[in-house]
Amino acid sequence: MDPVARKGSGIGFIDILQEGLCEHLADLAQQCIAGFSDDRPVSASLVRSRLTNALTGAPPVLAVARDDRGITGWCAVRRPEPGEARARLWGPVVAPGARRTGLATRLLDAVVGATPWPLMTTDVPADRHGAADFFARSGWTELDTVTVLHGTPTQGSFEATTADTAPELEAYVTAAARRHARHEAAFAQATLRRWRDDARFRPGNLLLDTSTGSLLLALAQRTDVSSELLLAEVWAADVGARRRLITAAHTMAAEQQLDTVRAVTRQEPADFVACCMHITGRCSTFTLPGER
């Protein structure tokens, strides 16, 4: 479905994430993050997974800007999932040739005006000069900080237990959520459904440390030019278990012939650093204060 442009703005809303559109959004996003600490492979499947509500399948609130050459920018809000206090803002993403025209502000204003939920941004890298200032000028405040790390896949024998060999995976995830993250069973079940609905999810990339009931969720992502294994979740209270799982993930990345291992964590990064990962950046998330 093509967007209906707002008069004089070139911005319209799209209700359906068609494959061709996701390709265009991914290409533009890849251009905008190249060379920064959050640089990673961006594909159409990643865009669809990140913008679609995993539990309901509902599409995002998506504003797209066009000119006579095609899409020049976009901004989206993923609808909040059960248990989430805020919806997640993605963007605004603006083509290099369309910057410094006020387009980012118009895109942001469009989706904020069309969104009834409290909002928070995705991770904004500290090395992306001007991005934090943009949200501050727009009335957003810093909510949290995260650490970005990169590592090199390690050759070796991969012998870790994975979810594709676990007969009672739901029970395992429920116990891990309660033991290591202090979440109730309903949260764990909803989380497992969200993981499974992610286009990057493979049972063989959900690593289990059965002696401690710990787990590590890794997501493999490939494009024509690069690939990575993202360490998305680590649920382990025991230092030894965390490091065993992180080390196993590096070996798995080598086995799958991926270029790099990446982690984004709000926790103390010492365990990742101990497993030969290097801090490559810091990011902040921002929230829009006030009742909505």
The pLDDT score that the predictor gives to residue 16 is 85
Mean pLDDT of the chain: 86
> In this structure, are 104 and 180 located in the same domain?
no
Residue scoring higher pLDDT (139 or 289): 139
> In this structure, are 173 and 138 located in the same domain?
no
- Rounded to two decimals, the pTM is 0.74
Over the range 171-202, which residues count as b (16 or more CB within 10 Å of their CB) and which as e? ebbbbbbeebeebeeebbebbbebbeebebbe
In a domain, 112, yes or no: yes
Instruction: For CA atoms 208, 236, 211, 246, give the dihedral sign.
Output: positive
In a domain, 291, yes or no: no
Residue 288: which pLDDT band, with cuts at 50, 70 and 90?
confident
Q: Is the pLDDT of residue 291 over 50?
A: no
Residue 217: which pLDDT band, with cuts at 50, 70 and 90?
very high
The pLDDT score that the predictor gives to residue 157 is 81
In a domain, 73, yes or no: yes
The pLDDT score that the predictor gives to residue 59 is 87
Convert the pLDDT of each residue in 239-281 to its tens digit.
Answer: 999 999 999 999 999 999 999 999 989 888 999 999 999 999 8
> In this structure, are 118 and 203 located in the same domain?
no
Across 116-139, average pLDDT: 87
> In this structure, are 207 and 269 located in the same domain?
yes
Cβ atoms of 216 and 180 closer than 8 Å: no
Question: How far apart (Å, rounded) are the C-alpha atoms in residues 71 and 66?
Answer: 4
- Residue 57: give its domain's CATH number: 3.40.630.30
Cβ atoms of 208 and 166 closer than 8 Å: yes
The pLDDT score that the predictor gives to residue 1 is 35
How many domains are there within the chain? Answer: 2
Least confident range of 10-14, 142-146, 178-182: 178-182
In a domain, 285, yes or no: no
Structure-token match 């909510």, residue found: 143
Question: How far apart (Å, rounded) are the C-alpha atoms in residues 45 and 48?
Answer: 5
Percent of the chain at pLDDT > 90 equals 47
> In this structure, are 84 and 11 located in the same domain?
yes
> In this structure, are 112 and 50 located in the same domain?
yes
Range of the domain at 270: 153-275
